[in-house]
Amino acid sequence: MPTLASQGETIRLQPATRRSRRFAGPWTYLFLAPAVLLFVVFIAYPIVWVACQSFFSEDRDHTASFVGLETYWAVLGDPVFWIVVRNMVLWGLITIPVQMLIGGTVAYFIERHTNAWRGFFRTMFFLPVVTSVSVISLVWVQIYAPYYGIGQEYLRHFGIIMASSPIGDPSTAIYALILVNIWQWTGFSMLMYVAGIANLPTEVLDAARVDGARGLRLAWSIIIPMLMPVTKSLLLLGIIGTLQTFPVVQLMTGGGPNHASEVFGTYVFRTSFVLGDTGKGATISVIVLVLALILSLVQIVYLGADLAPSGHKEESR
Amino acid sequence: MSKLELKAVSKRFGAVEIFSPLDLTVEHGEFCALVGPSGCGKSTLLRIIAGLEPPSSGKVLIDDEDVTGQEPPDRGIAMVFQSYALYPHMKVHENVGFGLRIARRSAEEIKSKVAAAAQKLRLDALLDRMPRELSGGQRQRVAIGRAITRDPRIFLLDEPLSNLDAALRGGMRVEIARLRQSLGATMIYVTHDQVEAMTLADRIVVMNKGRIEQIGAPMELYHHPANRFVASFIGSPSMNFFEADVRDGNGDELVLRLADGSDMVVDRVISPVTSGRVTLGIRPEHVELGTAAGTGNCMPGTVVVVERLGCDTLLHIDATGRPLVMRQPRDLAGIHAGERVTCRFPAEACHVFLN
Amino acid sequence: MRRHHPNISRIVIHAALFALLAVWMIPEVYMLSIGLRTPDQAFDATLMAWPLTLDNFATVIRDNAIVSFFLNSLIVTLATVAIVVACSTLFAFACAVLHLRWSLVLYATLLTTLMVPLASLVLPLAILLKTFGWVNTYAGVIFPYAALGAPFAVVVLKAFMEDSPKELFEAARVDGCNAWQTYWHVALPLIRPALVFVGIWQFIVTWNEFFLALIILTRNEVKTLTIVPMQYSGLYMANPGALFAVLTLIALPLILLYVVVQRAFVRGLLAGAVKG
Ligand SMILES: Nc1ncnc2c1ncn2[C@@H]1O[C@H](COP(=O)(O)OP(=O)(O)OP(=O)(O)O)[C@@H](O)[C@H]1O
Ligand SMILES: [Mg+2]
């Protein structure tokens, strides 16, 4: 400013005497700090640690020696590992679609065909989600129990005789656990679909009705396609949930009998904390981690990350 | 009351240039309207003045003080947003007094200032309501109230009436004119609506594609538009345009030949043109309905549509293939679609624009 | 909302929903029912057995320190929820409103955590917490829970803030707020429905977390409710009535809480807290 009158000078002093004000100076990076700190200490650092550890093997006298990919070959050669993989695939393939199907159907009827009872149904079907998983596990052990459980009692009415508990039989154990999981988490799918259906734009539904779409036809050709984003989120959450599976299995079968119902959680737990094999535990952890990342990347590439709008999609390319 | 100056202000978002360097001065106590088509950068310019958006280059001066890097409150501006932007979780009086609260003024001062603003805007009865319990016009008044409690040097209003229906808009227009008189503050007012601009403003800035096309008093823009864009933007219905060649530019009058071969004689005071291709423009209200063909400056045509507005009548005419609109302050009961008419262009009412 | 629906189909649909719900509630009812049985009915293979008795509940409440486990759960959960809410709202605000440089890169990095299964983190976390001396402390589970919960909260809250009209934040700036005041006076109240949703969901997840609690909380003084059923299943092997009374007591607080807050929870969900 070359030409400032003396009057201008006095005015210019004002801002300096005022509290200097910045809407968003460098200090605003502190907004990011707490979350980043948590992430670095409790997520990133452990991941790096476990990745490094997987290349070492610890001896009895606590000296670690570098063994390269040796533990990886050991894990991949372990038949239990492949049982785990099979179980996880089964788990995902069964629980996710079944939960979507039941949850979606129930949500559709609750949202479109009930009124006074809507809140009641929404709440009741969600209750298993909020019931402590350890409680659920013990209840289902009791249900599955031979002789005094109600499971075998009810099945007898349909002509099915169970000689032993389904969780005690290697061929059925994993399915019995999957059933418990479906029972617990269907309410979650239901509530997500409830939100999706409630948020459908009424104009579109009205337009479809004007076009003559009604009942199942409306559901099939309008509602289901428009709920695709919910379905995608549920798929993503379902895959994450599958890899997180632990408490139900740990409490009901402990991965048994004879590893028949082993999942990643129990496998890691047994290896690391029961058997104390840190190297192998770390290796399994890394494999699970890589698998989770691959699965979610595949999903994001093919379906887009609907849980994460806008920004994330660009970043993940 | 303050003076605002923009010096060579430009703005780009990434590689996209929104405006090339432009200068603008708004005098003390002036009411300046910013008009232009959608997307021409009016809001962006206003946000630069407010300090919500930094200019890519150039300076913003208020009362000769360079405020380019300052925060909005330090500039002494207040802004009324198109969407009102009332805080939905605060009652009306909290909304109006929020700026003072942030400035840590005393409770009594806030209270008295809010009361004063409320009285000025007739909001007294609404102070304890939530924004969602207000009508559009009431919300608008709260938004203005929020601006005036801050005693700003400059008011910035971004299309403040565009979310209201036509009737309410008329009422609020009067309200703003009244407010403007009682406050006497400098105001910069963005609008799409040329009627608002014409009736409220001391000066109008016409923008197009990030350029200032013309600055002037409303009547100046109406009578002496600097170019075809301004001519078409100001006035309703819009000015009629015809391509023409200059046939004779030597006398006191300009002779233009239109595409259909007819000649038009135009006062040459309007534009200093001597030769080449030009555009002839004439406002619908200046076209006269002639009867006899052949007397100069006439154009024959067929009436396509007649719109009777009550006081005025609009005739949409097909003038040998080109559309022409004329506005007559009579009800023209005898004229119907399909009728052949002759339109006369008075020489003194014609505008000539270089292509 | 529903118009002209034939009454017959309404009744059929309601009947079907009630029937399904009845089946769905069998495990919950069964749990309660065993807890209400006398010892000689305890092993009956029926859903309900009469008469009902509250003796089991009296016994287990008298014999056990359920309340202290409950308090542990409450402390761990509330602290986690508070940390998650604070961290994630700050982070989301920095991304969605302040548009800080690099914040989107950090956001994408944080997002990968959504996919990290706890199973692959327990081992390193256990060792890390041991070096911190945080085994058998509340902090030992609170901070990992918060770290694992924050990404989901950030995703939800960031999307919600991005959907809010940005003029509100600009109006705050014109009114003289700095970033912190905008966050506190405008952003937080504005995203309240989503915040309630995130808070309740984090509460449910944390209250029910089992894996890390099992490994980190081994002393009775710090154990949370979720990991105690195991020890009772050994203790009351021969007395299912008592065992299930304990289980009911363990499950009850969260169920009751959910019933109380479900309206706000669903409202947050409906307000678009979760996209799609
Ligand atoms: N943040 C941004 N990033 C990129 N481009 C932007 C941004 N904000 C505005 N623009 C572009 O700048 C141009 C001018 O926008 P602006 O909002 O100023 O228009 P306007 O004249 O106010 O239009 P309207 O009358 O519709 O409100 C538009 O083309 C718009 O797309
Ligand atoms: Mg605009």
CA of B190 to the centre of ligand 2 (A): 8
Nearest to A18 by CA among B103, B154, C180: B103
pLDDT value at residue A206? 79
Ligand 1 atom closest to residue B36's alpha carbon, by position in its atom list: 21
B149 and B180 in a single domain? The answer is: yes
- Please indicate whether, in this complex, the C-beta atoms of B65 and A23 are within 8 angstroms of each other: no
Q: What is the mean pLDDT of residues A231-259?
A: 87
Confidence of residue B92 (pLDDT cuts 50, 70, 90): very high
Q: What is the mean pLDDT of residues B259-278?
A: 73
pLDDT value at residue A315? 26
B303 and B215 in a single domain? The answer is: no
Grouping H, G, I as helix, E, B as strand and the rest as coil, residue A218 is helix
Tell me how far apart the alpha carbons of residues B100 and C177 are, in angstroms, rounded to a whole number. Answer: 10
DSSP letter assigned to residue B300? E
Q: Is the CB of B42 under 6 A from ligand 1?
A: yes
Alpha helices for chain B (secondary structure H): 42-50, 72-75, 92-102, 107-120, 136-148, 166-183, 194-200, 218-223, 228-233
- Give the structural domain span for B289: 240-354
- Alpha carbon C53 to chain centroid, angstroms: 31
Peptide bond into A34 cis (omega under 30): no
Mutate to test the pocket of ligand 1, among B20, B42, B194, B213 (most ligand atoms within 8 A of CB): B42
Question: How distant, in Å, are the alpha carbons of B143, C90, C273 from that of C171?
Answer: 10, 20, 24
B82 and B13 in a single domain? The answer is: yes
Does position B290 have pLDDT exceeding 80, yes or no? no
Counting ligands in written order, which one lies closest to the CA of residue B17?
1
Residue A116 domain-assigned (yes or no): yes
Counting ligands in written order, which one lies closest to the CA of residue B40?
1
B348 and B224 in a single domain? The answer is: no
CA of B10 to the centre of ligand 2 (A): 17
Interface A-C: count of C-beta contacts within 8 A? 330
- Give the structural domain span for A208: 81-260
Question: How distant, in Å, are the alpha carbons of A111, A112, A116, A286, C182 from that of C2?
Answer: 10, 7, 11, 52, 42
pLDDT value at residue A61? 61
pLDDT value at residue A125? 93
Contacts of B64 in chain A (CB under 8 A): 4-5, 7-8, 11
Helix (H) or strand (E) holding C30: helix C26-35
The alpha carbons of chain C give a radius of gyration, in whole angstroms, of 23
* pLDDT winner (highest mean) among A165-174, A292-301, B346-355, C160-169: C160-169
**Which candidate from B72, B88, B89 shows the least CB-CB separation from C174?**
B72
Tell me how far apart the alpha carbons of residues A303 and A311 are, in angstroms, rounded to a whole number. Answer: 15
Residue A204 domain-assigned (yes or no): yes
A169: exposed, middle or buried (C-beta count within 10 Å: 0-12, 13-18, 19+)? middle
Domains of chain C and any CATH numbers: 8-53 (no CATH), 65-271 (1.10.3720.10)
pLDDT value at residue C144? 93
Does position C157 have pLDDT exceeding 50, yes or no? yes
**Which candidate from B63, B65, B74 shows the least CB-CB separation from A21?**
B74
Grouping H, G, I as helix, E, B as strand and the rest as coil, residue B336 is coil
Residue A101, Cβ neighbours under 10 Å: how many? 12
C47 or B256, higher pLDDT: B256
C233 or C208, higher pLDDT: C208
Question: How distant, in Å, are the alpha carbons of B29, B172, B211, C144 from that of B182?
Answer: 11, 15, 33, 61
Counting ligands in written order, which one lies closest to the CA of residue B81?
2
pLDDT value at residue C203? 94
CATH number of the structural domain spanning residue A117: 1.10.3720.10
Q: What is the pLDDT of residues C73-104, one digit of tens each?
A: 999 999 999 999 999 999 999 999 988 888 88
Q: Which residues have C-beta within 8 Å of that of residue B96, sequence separation ≥ 6?
A: B114, B117, B118, B123, B127, B142, B145, B146, B149
Residue A53 domain-assigned (yes or no): no
Cβ pair A114, A194 in contact under 8 A: no
Mutate to test the pocket of ligand 1, among B13, B46, B190 (most ligand atoms within 8 A of CB): B13
Nearest to A265 by CA among B26, C214, B250, B142: C214
Cβ pair C168, B87 in contact under 8 A: yes
Enter the tokens of residue B29: 């106590």
Question: In chain A, which residue's Cα lies nearest the Cα of C44?
Answer: A148
CA of B190 to the centre of ligand 1 (A): 13
Residue A110 domain-assigned (yes or no): yes
Residue A172 domain-assigned (yes or no): yes
Confidence of residue C171 (pLDDT cuts 50, 70, 90): very high
- Please indicate whether, in this complex, the C-beta atoms of C167 and B82 are within 8 angstroms of each other: yes
Cβ pair B203, B30 in contact under 8 A: yes
Interface test with B, best of C174, C181, C190 (most B CBs within 10 A): C174
Buried b / exposed e along C134-156 (16+ C-beta atoms within 10 A): bbbebebbbbbbbbbbbbbbbbb
Q: What is the pLDDT of residues B40-61, one digit of tens each?
A: 889 999 999 998 888 999 999 9
- Pair type for strands B57-62 and B65-66: antiparallel
pLDDT value at residue B84? 87
**Which candidate from C113, C123, C258 shows the least CB-CB separation from A130?**
C258
Q: Is the CB of B44 under 6 A from ligand 1?
A: yes
Q: What percent of chain A has pLDDT over 90?
A: 21
CA of B76 to the centre of ligand 2 (A): 22
**Is residue B8 within 8 angstroms of chain A, CB to CB?**
no
| Helix A173-198, helix A79-113: angle, nearest 10 | 40
Q: How many residues does chain C have?
A: 276
Contacts of B78 in chain C (CB under 8 A): 174
B174 and B70 in a single domain? The answer is: yes
B96 and B226 in a single domain? The answer is: yes
CATH number of the structural domain spanning residue B251: 2.40.50.140
Q: Which residues have C-beta within 8 Å of that of residue C66, sequence separation ≥ 6?
A: C60, C225, C228, C246, C249, C250
pLDDT value at residue C237? 74
Cβ pair C117, A292 in contact under 8 A: yes
Nearest to B262 by CA among B348, B317, B322: B322
Ligand 1 atom closest to residue B45's alpha carbon, by position in its atom list: 18
Q: What is the mean pLDDT of residues B309-331?
A: 87
B204 and B341 in a single domain? The answer is: no
pLDDT value at residue C51? 75
- Pair type for strands B203-208 and B4-13: unpaired
Cβ pair A80, A262 in contact under 8 A: yes
Question: Looking at A48-191, which runs of residues are DSSP E strands?
Answer: 56-58, 64-66
- Which of the listed residues B233, B254, B277 is the one where a domain comes to its end? B233
Contacts of C106 in chain A (CB under 8 A): 32, 36
Confidence of residue C21 (pLDDT cuts 50, 70, 90): very high
pLDDT value at residue A19? 43
- Pair type for strands B240-248 and B253-258: antiparallel
A121 or B170, higher pLDDT: A121
Does position B149 have pLDDT exceeding 70, yes or no? yes
pLDDT value at residue C273? 56
CA of B38 to the centre of ligand 1 (A): 8
pLDDT value at residue A305? 52
Enter the tokens of residue A250: 């740990």
* The Cα angle at residue A29 between residues A27 and A32, in degrees rounded to 5: 140
**Is residue B252 within 8 angstroms of chain A, CB to CB?**
no
Contacts of C26 in chain A (CB under 8 A): 143, 150
B296 and B189 in a single domain? The answer is: no
Q: What is the mean pLDDT of residues B328-345?
A: 84
Mean per-residue pLDDT over chain C, rounded: 86
- Please indicate whether, in this complex, the C-beta atoms of A244 and C118 are within 8 angstroms of each other: yes
pLDDT value at residue A18? 42
pLDDT value at residue A62? 66
pLDDT value at residue A304? 61
Confidence of residue A310 (pLDDT cuts 50, 70, 90): very low
Does position C1 have pLDDT exceeding 50, yes or no? no
DSSP for C121-173, please give it: THHHHHHHHHHHT-TTSHHHHHHHHHHHHHHHHHHHHHHHHHHS-HHHHHHHH
Nearest to A178 by CA among A261, A101, A85: A261
Nearest to B70 by CA among A20, C183, C101, A28: A20
Contacts of B82 in chain C (CB under 8 A): 167
Does position A309 have pLDDT exceeding 50, yes or no? no
Max CA-CA distance within chain B? 79
Mean per-residue pLDDT over chain A, rounded: 80
**Tokens 């670095």 — which residue?**
A40
A298 or B139, higher pLDDT: B139
Q: What is the mean pLDDT of residues C169-174?
A: 91
Grouping H, G, I as helix, E, B as strand and the rest as coil, residue A210 is helix
Q: Which residues have C-beta within 8 Å of that of residue B213, sequence separation ≥ 6?
A: B36, B206, B207, B226, B227, B229, B230, B233
A209 or B284, higher pLDDT: B284
Ligand 1 atom closest to residue B40's alpha carbon, by position in its atom list: 21
- Which of the listed residues B233, B268, B285 is the one where a domain comes to its end? B233
pLDDT value at residue A314? 27
Grouping H, G, I as helix, E, B as strand and the rest as coil, residue C229 is helix
B287 and B219 in a single domain? The answer is: no
Tell me how far apart the alpha carbons of residues A80 and B89 are, in angstroms, rounded to a whole number. Answer: 57
Residue A64 pairs with which residues in a beta bridge? A58
Buried b / exposed e along C237-255 (16+ C-beta atoms within 10 A): eeebbbbbbbbbbbbbbbb
- Please indicate whether, in this complex, the C-beta atoms of B73 and C185 are within 8 angstroms of each other: no
DSSP for C39-102, please give it: GGGTT-SSS--SS---HHHHHHHHH--HHHHHHHHHHHHHHHHHHHHHHHHHHHHHHHTS--TT
Grouping H, G, I as helix, E, B as strand and the rest as coil, residue A55 is coil
Q: What is the mean pLDDT of residues C113-141?
A: 87
Residue B281 pairs with which residues in a beta bridge? B241, B351
- Please indicate whether, in this complex, the C-beta atoms of B73 and C176 are within 8 angstroms of each other: yes
Q: Is the CB of B41 under 6 A from ligand 1?
A: yes
Sign of CA dihedral A4, A5, A9, A11: negative
Does position A41 have pLDDT exceeding 60, yes or no? yes
* The Cα angle at residue C173 between residues C171 and C178, in degrees rounded to 5: 145
Cβ pair A174, A87 in contact under 8 A: yes
Q: Which residues have C-beta within 8 Å of that of residue B17, sequence separation ≥ 6?
A: B10, B11, B210
Tell me how far apart the alpha carbons of residues C178 and C172 are, in angstroms, rounded to a whole number. Answer: 8
Contacts of A8 in chain B (CB under 8 A): 63-65
Sheet holding B340-344, edge to edge: B288-290, B340-344, B298-308, B313-319, B322-328
Q: What is the pLDDT of residues C215-266, one digit of tens each?
A: 898 888 888 888 888 888 777 777 888 888 888 888 889 999 999 998 888 8
Ligand 1 atom closest to residue B14's alpha carbon, by position in its atom list: 4
Q: Is the CB of B39 under 6 A from ligand 1?
A: yes
Interface test with C, best of A43, A224, A278 (most C CBs within 10 A): A43
Count of domains observed in chain B: 2
Q: What is the mean pLDDT of residues A247-269?
A: 88
B112 and B244 in a single domain? The answer is: no
Does position A13 have pLDDT exceeding 50, yes or no? no
Helix (H) or strand (E) holding C111: helix C103-112
Contacts of B81 in chain C (CB under 8 A): 167, 170-171
Confidence of residue B274 (pLDDT cuts 50, 70, 90): low
Sign of CA dihedral B300, B301, B302, B306: negative
Which ipTM was obtained for this model? Answer: 0.87
Question: In chain B, which residue's Cα lies nearest the Cα of A21?
Answer: B71
Question: How distant, in Å, are the alpha carbons of B112, C172, C177, C215 from that of B107?
Answer: 9, 19, 18, 55
Q: What is the end-to-end Cα distance of chain B in Å, rounded? A: 41
Tell me how far apart the alpha carbons of residues B204 and B122 are, in angstroms, rounded to a whole number. Answer: 29
Q: Is the CB of B191 under 6 A from ligand 1?
A: no
Phi, psi of A257 (to 5 degrees): -75, 140
B12 and B29 in a single domain? The answer is: yes
pLDDT value at residue A272? 85
CATH number of the structural domain spanning residue B118: 3.40.50.300
Count of domains observed in chain A: 1
pLDDT value at residue A308? 36
Question: In chain C, which residue's Cα lies nearest the Cα of B81?
Answer: C167
Mean per-residue pLDDT over chain B, rounded: 87
* Predicted model pTM: 0.85
Q: What percent of chain B has pLDDT over 90?
A: 31
B277 and B182 in a single domain? The answer is: no
